[in-house]
Amino acid sequence: MKTALITGGSRGIGAATARRFAKEGFRVIINYNNSEARAKALAAETGGIAIRADVGSPEQVAAMAEKITAEHGALDVIVNNAGIAHFGLLTDMSEAEWQNLVNINLGGAFRVTKGLIRPMIAAGRGCVINISSMWGQVGASCEAAYSASKAGLIGLTKALAKELGPSGIRVNCIAPGVIDTEMNARLDSETLAELKDETPLGVIGSPEDVADAAYFLYENGFVTGQVIGVNGGFVI
């Protein structure tokens, strides 16, 4: 049975991705940090496994990677989805807030990939999918740290695609637009309406739209180093 790890997999895009891969016959490993009840419920629903680790902690990620490798060997797919947001002026952002956001959004993908890639290299196969954002492509006012961290994921994707391609491992990135998730639920109705109006398709995306793109990137064996925009035309 093929195995996929989805970080931040208990809700939103992560949960939809876990369901999509489970539907295709994958064993899904659902990483979570705080949402234990949701993760375990999703694991029961999909026949998967829930495993706790804060991707911002090198020690916790190392322990998770060791456990996964010991029990499942080389993964077929890693989806680096775990992330947090911060909204506000850069001048009001503390050093600690900046470091925490970059540590989780970009550092988490680094740690998880590094911790699990060696068995994939040995097996000569595998797929890494990083979940960035359209703001990582064009930047967003009052989301400088978030935009920077997501831009970093794009750079990491392109570099690792070149580094790992000779080992048979593909690395791609998805840059979602405005998606109906809890992260965007903090936006007021007026802001959401404006974002919807700015989206050429005139709709807000769903987590399933992103999950479908993730499965496409796994399935197509000649796609690597790419950034796939799932944004309704917001960024072209």
**Per-residue pLDDT tens for 185-204?**
777 888 888 999 999 999 99
pLDDT for 178 beyond 90:
yes
pLDDT for 235 beyond 90:
yes
Q: Where are the beta strands (DSSP E) in the chain?
A: 3-6, 27-32, 49-52, 77-80, 126-131, 169-176, 227-230
Task: Please give the pLDDT value at position 184.
Answer: 82
pLDDT digits (tens, 9 = 90+) for 120-131: 999 999 999 999
Structural fold of domain 3-230: Rossmann fold (3.40.50)
Percent residues over pLDDT 90 in the chain: 94
Contact 119, 70 (CB under 8 A): no
- The whole-chain average pLDDT of the chain stands at 97
pLDDT for 164 beyond 90:
yes
Residues annotated catalytic, as ranges: 146
32-60: average pLDDT: 98
pLDDT digits (tens, 9 = 90+) for 141-152: 999 999 999 999
**Global confidence as pTM:** 0.97
130-136: average pLDDT: 98
87-116: average pLDDT: 98
Which residues lie below 8 Å from residue 217, measured CB to CB, with a gap of 6+? 127, 129, 170, 172, 174, 223, 226, 228
